[in-house]
Amino acid sequence: MTKNTSVKSKQRTIDFGEVNTNKKIVGKMLDLVKPELERIDSRFLEPACGDGNFLCEIFTKKLDVVQRLHSKQQHDYEKFSILACSSIYGIELLDDNVLLARARLLDIFTKSYENLYPDTKKEIIKSLKFILSKNIVQGDALSFLCGEKLDQPLILSEWSLIEDSFKRREFAYKDFISYSPIDGPNLFSDLGEEAFIPESIKDHPLMKYSKIYGNN
């Protein structure tokens, strides 16, 4: 895998303000949210993820938890590794960074998976790869747009584990960070505070964890 440096080129820094956070600083920053890294399903979003320095470290730590808790049964390791992957999101303006971030994350899982089990399954790799294609996306987190011309709404998927299957719902990114209050007590606020409930733009049927790659 290509060695990561803080500055790939002066021109990219000038044009896009690209500076990658080094591993030491990433580690110190993630120490501030260490309890969340112990939760396999806790969600992380990096709105300017570069080629994945933060995401790779988060995924590595989550997989450490999966291995510690669920590696006795290959079935469980596969399922909870997919859950860990599904909880990680990245938005990045530069398409080469998006591809590299996805590749680095997939490589982290593949090496761990192959090291633990002699009989790995291609469909598990394909399912992880599919999730990464939906969770690590090219776009502009400030304009909420994606596409080559930044003229399409930026869409992210929510993945929920239900026994051995996943439920996928798609949301417009702008709805995650726009504030639409609901007055009075509600299910999302124990204190009667205003809360925001985004509406999905598409709901997908349940898919077995090893068959997620067929969920278009």
pLDDT of residue 176: 74
Domain total in the chain: 1
Residue 77, in any domain of the structure: yes
Query: Which DSSP state fits 190?
Result: T
In tens, the pLDDT along 141-195 reads 999 999 878 899 999 999 999 999 999 999 999 887 765 555 554 444 455 555 5
Q: For residue 63, name the pLDDT band (cuts at 50, 70, 90).
A: very high
Q: Where are the alpha helices (DSSP H) in 1-117?
A: 10-16, 23-31, 34-37, 53-70, 74-86, 95-116
Computed on alpha carbons and rounded to an integer, the radius of gyration of the chain in Å comes to: 18
Mean pLDDT of 201-209: 96
**Which residue from 103, 104, 101, 124 is spatially nearest to 114, judged by alpha carbons?**
124
Strands 155-162 and 88-92: unpaired
Whether 75 maps to a domain, the answer reads: yes
pLDDT at 15: 46
Decide: 86 and 166 in contact? Cβ < 8 Å. Answer: yes
Q: Tokens 């606020």 belong to which residue?
A: 189
Average pLDDT, the chain: 86
- Model confidence pLDDT, tens digit, residues 17-28: 555 677 888 888
- Joined together, the tokens standing for residue 142 give 């400030």
Q: State yes or no: pLDDT of 80 exceeds 60.
A: yes
Check if the beta carbon of residue 93 is closer than 8 Å to that of residue 16.
Answer: yes
Residue 110 lies in a domain: yes
Q: Which pTM does this prediction carry?
A: 0.83
Looking at the domain assignment, is residue 202 inside a domain? Answer: yes
Could you report the per-residue pLDDT of 40-61, keeping only the tens digit for each?
Answer: 999 999 999 999 999 999 999 9
Per 3-state DSSP, the chain is made up of helix, strand and coil in percentages (nearest 5) of: 45, 20, 35
Give pLDDT, residue 67.
98
**What's the full length of the chain, in residues?**
216
60 part of a folded domain? yes
Q: Is residue 47 part of a domain?
A: yes
In-domain check, residue 20 = yes
Domain range for 54 = 10-214
pLDDT at 193: 56
Residue 3: inside a domain: no
